[in-house]
Structure 1
Amino acid sequence: MDARGKKRKSRRGRRRRKALQHQHPEAPEEEQTTESTTPSQPPHPKRRRMDAAPNSTNRPSFLDKMRVRLSGGHFRMINEKLYTCNGNEAFNLFKNDPQLFDVYHAGYQEQMSHWPEQPVNIIIRWLKSHSTSLIVADFGCGNASLAKNVKNKVFSIDLVSSDPSVIVCDMSHTPLDNSSVDVAVFCLSLMGTNFPNYLQEAKRVLKPRGWLLIAEVQSRFDPGNGGADPDKFCEAINKLGFSLVSKDSTNKMFLLFYFKKKEKISEVRNIEWPELKPCIYKRR
C-alpha cells in the first residue's frame, strides 16, 4: 500500500473513533467495545442498601418490639395481682416499688385506648349535669382525670401517685371524715378481693342521700361465663345501705350502677357478697 492509501485508511479510522465518541461521549475511547458487548450489571450492593434504608427506618426494631412485649407482660402480671390480692397487699406492693404503678397505668391506658367509650367520661358528663357544689370522692382515681375535668371539689384517692393532689392510701381506710362527701365514684376500681371494704368506706364518708356511682367491666357481671349476678350484687349493696336508682348496660364494655345512700340505715351483718370475676387480660 502506498503512502496515499495509508493516509486514507488513517482518516477513516479517526472518523470511526469520532463517531463512537459521539454515541458515548462520557466513556473513554478504550471502553467502547466492552460497553457495547457486555450485559448491564446489577446495581451496586451499597446503592441497593441505601435505597432500602428509608423503608427500614419506619419499621420497629427488634428491641422496640421486645420492650413493648415486656411492658405488656409486666402490666398483665401487676393487673392479675391487683385482682387477686387485698387492698393492703396492693398498697404495700406499690409502696415498696412505686415504679410498678407507672408500668401498670401505662398498660391500663393502652388497654383503654381500644374502648369506644371511656366510663370516666360518662361520669364526668353526669357530674357536669349536676351542681358543682357536690363534693366528690374518686376511689382509685388513676391519673385523676375526673378531678381535672370538673369544677367540683374532688378528693382523688389511690394506692400511689406522683401527683401531690392525690390522697395515697388503702381505699378501705381513707382520711376523709364521716358524712363529708356527696358522691363516691368507683370507676373500674373494685379490684381487690376485699372490695366490700371499699364500699363500706364509701358508705362511711357519704352523706345521707349521697350518690354511689360504680362502673365495672361487663365480663365481671356475666353469670354465664363465671361472672357475678348483677342482681345479687345490687342486693348486697342494698343491704349495705343503698338503693339502686338506675343501671346502664347499654355499653358493651362496661356496666354503670347509680345508687343512693339511704337516710335511715338498719345495720345488716354477714352480707353475702357475690365474687366479682377478675378481669385478666390475655397475652397477645
Structure 2
Amino acid sequence: MAKNEQSKKRKRQKKNRKPTHQNEAKRKGLDITSGKGVVDHDPSSAKRRKLQEPSKASSFLDKMRERLSGGHFRMINEKLYTCSGEEALNYFQEDPSLFELYHAGYKMQMSQWPEQPVNVIINWLKKQSPSLVVADFGCGDALIAKSMKNKVFSLDLVSKDPEVIACDMANAPLSTSSVDVSVFCLSLMGTNYSSYLEEAYRVLKPGGWLLIAEVKSRFDPNTGGAEPENFSAAICELGFQSVKQDFSNKVFILFYFKKKDKQNSRRKEIEWPLLKPCLYKRR
C-alpha cells in the first residue's frame, strides 16, 4: 500500500515539474543544436546580427552613387562628342578628375560588350613584326602598349601614367613619317575628328597602317549615321588605300587602311561625313 502511494506521488511530481529550456524546445520540435527556431534574448547577439546584415540604407546609397556616376559619365561623353579636341583638352586640364570619372564609366559600358575592339586590334598587331612602331591615338588605359613588345606611343588628353603622352590628338608630338601603325580605337570623338586623321597620316611612314574601330551605330545611315563608304572614300582622298572593312561584330566596325607611297599633290578639298555621336540614354 505504501509503495502504491509513493508511486502516485512521484507521478504527480513529474507531471507538475516545470519543463526545462531543452525539453520545451524538443516538445515544440525545435532544433536547439542548429539554432533554428530558438529565440535568442541576448541583446548583444541581436546587435551582432544587425551589423552583419546588409543595411538597406547603404544599399540605396550605393545605387544612388552608381546612378550619379553614370549621369556624370553620360554628361562628359556627350561633351567629348560635341566639342573640338582643343576644347576637350582644356576641359580636362581644368579638372583632371573628370577624366578619371569618364574612364570609370567607359569601362563599365565596355564590360557589357561581348567582345572588346582593342583586343581585336592587339591580336592583329601581334601577328605583325615586333619592330613596328605604333601610335595609339586616344589610348585610355594604354592597354595596347601594355600588351605589346612593340614600341608604342600612347596619346590621350590627360596622363597620370609617365608612359602616356597628354596632348590634343590634332597636334601629336611625334615626328613626320616616324610610325608604322596609327590606331584609333573608339577615339574619333570631337567635331574636328578629321584633323586627328590628318595627323595620323602625317606621322605614318609610306606604306604604314591606319586601323580604326568605331561603334556601328555611328555608321548607320538609317539612324543618322554616316555611310561607311563615304567615310572610307574621304580617308582614301587623304592619301590612304582601303584594305579591309570588318562588319562581323554586332557592336563595332573595323577599318584597315594603308598609306600610299606617293602623295597626290593635287588633292582636292575633302568632304568629311558627319559621324553620329555615340550618346548613351539617360536611365
The TM-score bracket by the shorter chain reads: 0.7 to 0.9
Alignment of 1:5-84 (within 5 A): 16-21=12-17, 24-25=19-20, 56=54, 61-84=59-82
SS at match of 1:245: strand
Aligned partner (choices 223, 226, 234) of residue 225 of structure 1: 223
> Hey, what's the Cα distance between the residues in 2 that align with 1:214 and 1:206?
14
2:278 pairs with 1:282: no
- Sequence identity, in percent? 61
Q: Secondary structure at the match of 1:216?
A: strand
Partner of 1:106: 104
Secondary structure in 1 aligned to 2:257?
strand
How big is the alpha-carbon RMSD for the aligned residues of Structure 1 and Structure 2? 3.1
Measure how far apart 1:283 and its partner are. Answer: 2.0
In structure 2, distance between residues paired with 1:139 and 1:159:
10
The one-letter code of the counterpart of 2:101 is: V
Q: CA deviation at 1:269?
A: 3.7
**Which aligned pairs between 1:1-284 and structure 2 lie closer than 5 A?**
16-21=12-17, 24-25=19-20, 56=54, 61-267=59-265, 268-284=267-283
Q: Which whole-Å CA distance do the structure 1 matches of 2:53 and 2:209 have between them?
A: 55
Structure 1 residues 220 and 10, CA, compared in 2 at 3 Å: closer, same or farther? same
Distance 1:25 1:43 in 2: 15
Instruction: Map Cα deviations across residues 196-255 of structure 1 (whole Å, 9 max, x no partner).
Output: 000000010000011000000000000011100000000000100001000100000000
CA distance in 1, matches of 2:21, 2:133: 85
Distance change in 2, residues 1:26/1:258 (3 Å): closer
Q: Which residue of 2 aligns with 1:39?
A: none
TM-score between the two structures when normalised by the length of structure 1: 0.85
User: 1-side partners of 2:212 and 2:248: how far apart?
Assistant: 15
Residue 20 of structure 1 and its aligned partner are, at CA, apart by 2.2
1:11 CA drift (Å): 9.9
Distance 1:211 1:59, change over 3 A: farther
Q: How far apart in 2 are the matches of 1:269 and 1:160?
A: 34
Q: Residue type matched to 2:16 in 1?
A: L
SS of match in other structure, 2:254: strand
Give the C-alpha shift of residue 94 in structure 1.
Answer: 0.5
The CA deviation at 1:52 is 7.5
- Which whole-Å CA distance do the structure 2 matches of 1:78 and 1:18 have between them? 80
The CA distance in 1 between the partners of 2:70 and 2:228, in whole Å, is 30
- Determine the C-alpha separation between the residues in 2 that align with 1:11 and 1:130: 100
Please list every run of 5 or more consecutive structure 1 residues that lacks an aligned counterpart in the other structure.
1-7, 33-41
Q: Which amino acid aligns with 1:17?
A: Q
Per the normalisation by structure 2, the TM-score is: 0.86
* Runs of at least 5 residues in structure 2 that lack an aligned partner in the other structure: 25-37
- d(CA) in 1 for partners of 2:39 and 2:104? 46
Give the letter for the 1:282 counterpart: K
Work out which of the two has the higher radius of gyration on C-alpha atoms and give 1 or 2: 1
